[in-house]
């Protein structure tokens, strides 16, 4: 049995899993090392000492612009995107009770993509680009609302939710294709690159706005996260514990949609992160919300940072979208999960 400690302070009580603390600490160290490595690699390679000097020395050298303006915001954005998609996937897999659930498979990402393409193609010349995350959230929430209503039959069961979600994903993909066909040529070319999923061209202003959205959403996550583990049980057991499954499931779904939408708004439709990271986290730490959230967040952040690092260094002078390499890593994992589920059903 995993070793645990109980932390108590007046009315506050928390069980601390030693294995979870160790795994999170290792992942944090890996994340910082990954950031330093990404800052030093690129078209203009720099040494670790040069990176540290540019970051912490008051006197900036010749590589200040490359490290602090071109690379650093892009790396932080990749980490934010991976973390958001991982949290969204963790929430969805818990409320749907299906290991194949993720924001891109259930139609949430495609709903945000369709709304974003509509904004980029037809509204961007007239409205501020700062409204892009708002439109992405509206599209994702509209998709989630349609999924929830179509799955409703004297309540919403996880199986109906995932089947309707897969169908909605196909519908929203068709809508996105239609919008691309109808959009101006200049907009459609940039939209195609965006749909692949990329953090190319990220500036510090984008990172700040993304951070603001995360600051807004995290208190809601801390509040509704208390119900997350219980959702893996049967609805009748949840009712016996005094919970209302439909209401809690709806709030958790809205939160998962919000996390996926802001990631799509700033980095495009990067697939499979919300599928892979929670699965790896469940193999590493105890099945408690706090431990899974921390671990999934760090794994997702490193996954997207790694994909972006490969995209901008492995095929120089080309700078390829990170979404390509996430898909390369995620597709075999998805096939493995399908085979595993098939054997489990048998």
Residue 335 belongs to some domain of the structure: yes
* Number of domains comprising the chain: 1
pLDDT in tens, 161-211: 778 888 888 888 888 888 888 877 777 777 777 777 888 888 899 899 999
Residue 96 belongs to some domain of the structure: yes
Secondary structure of 51-85 as H, E, C letters: HHHHHHCCCCCCCHHHHHHHHHHHHHHHHHHHHHH
Look up the CATH number of the domain holding residue 305: 1.10.3470.10
pLDDT at 79: 95
Residue 266 belongs to some domain of the structure: yes
pLDDT in tens, 113-124: 888 888 888 887
pLDDT at 9: 66
CA distances from 10 to 14, 226, 315 (A): 11, 19, 57
d(CA 185, CA 192): 11
Please provide the average confidence, as pLDDT, over all residues in the chain: 82
Residue 299 belongs to some domain of the structure: yes
pLDDT in tens, 250-273: 788 888 888 988 898 888 888 888
Q: Which domain holds residue 219?
A: 74-345
Secondary structure of 119-155 as H, E, C letters: HHHHHCCCCCHHHHHHHHHHHHHHHHHHHHHHCCCCC
CA distances from 144 to 62, 80, 218, 243, 249 (A): 49, 22, 20, 22, 12
Residue 38 belongs to some domain of the structure: no
Residue 182 belongs to some domain of the structure: yes
pLDDT in tens, 219-236: 888 887 777 777 666 666
The sign of the CA dihedral 88, 94, 96, 100 is: positive
Residue 287 belongs to some domain of the structure: yes
Residue 37 belongs to some domain of the structure: no
Q: Which token pair is 165? A: 């979600």
CA distances from 197 to 78, 109, 237, 250 (A): 10, 11, 40, 28
pLDDT at 1: 46
Mean pLDDT of the 36-61 span: 84
Classified as helix, coil or strand, 17 is strand
d(CA 214, CA 259): 8
């Amino acid at each position: 049995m995993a070793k645990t400690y109980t932390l108590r302070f007046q009315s506050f009580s928390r069980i601390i899993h030693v294995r979870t603390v160790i795994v999170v600490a290792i992942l944090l160290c890996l994340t910082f090392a990954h950031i330093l490595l990404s800052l030093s690699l690129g078209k203009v390679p720099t040494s670790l000492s040069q990176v540290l000097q540019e970051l912490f020395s008051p006197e900036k050298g010749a590589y200040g612009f490359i490290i602090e303006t071109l690379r650093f915001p892009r790396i932080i954005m990749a980490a934010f995107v991976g973390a958001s998609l991982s949290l969204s996937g963790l929430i969805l897999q818990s409320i749907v009770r299906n290991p194949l659930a993720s924001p891109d498979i259930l139609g949430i990402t495609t709903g945000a993509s369709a709304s974003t393409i509509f904004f980029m193609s037809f509204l961007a010349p007239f409205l501020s680009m700062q409204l892009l995350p708002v439109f992405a959230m509206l599209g994702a929430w509209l998709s989630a609302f349609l999924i929830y209503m179509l799955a409703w039959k004297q309540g919403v069961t996880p199986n109906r939710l995932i089947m309707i979600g897969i169908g909605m994903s196909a519908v929203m993909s068709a809508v996105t294709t239609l919008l691309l066909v109808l959009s101006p040529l200049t907009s459609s070319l940039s939209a195609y690159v965006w749909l692949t999923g990329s953090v190319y061209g990220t500036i510090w202003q984008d990172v700040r706005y993304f951070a603001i959205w995360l600051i807004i959403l995290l208190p809601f996550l801390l509040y509704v996260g208390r119900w997350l583990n219980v959702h893996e049980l049967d609805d009748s057991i949840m009712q016996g514990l005094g919970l209302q499954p439909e209401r809690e499931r709806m709030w958790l779904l809205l939160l998962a949609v919000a996390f996926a939408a802001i990631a799509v708004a700033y980095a495009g439709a990067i697939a499979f992160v919300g599928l892979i990271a929670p699965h790896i986290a469940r193999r590493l730490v105890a099945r408690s919300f706090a431990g899974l959230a921390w671990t999934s967040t760090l794994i997702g952040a490193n996954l997207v940072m790694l994909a972006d690092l490969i995209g901008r260094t492995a095929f120089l002078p080309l700078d390829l979208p990170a979404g390509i390499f996430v898909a390369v890593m995620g597709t075999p994992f998805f096939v493995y999960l399908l085979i595993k589920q098939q054997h489990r059903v048998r």
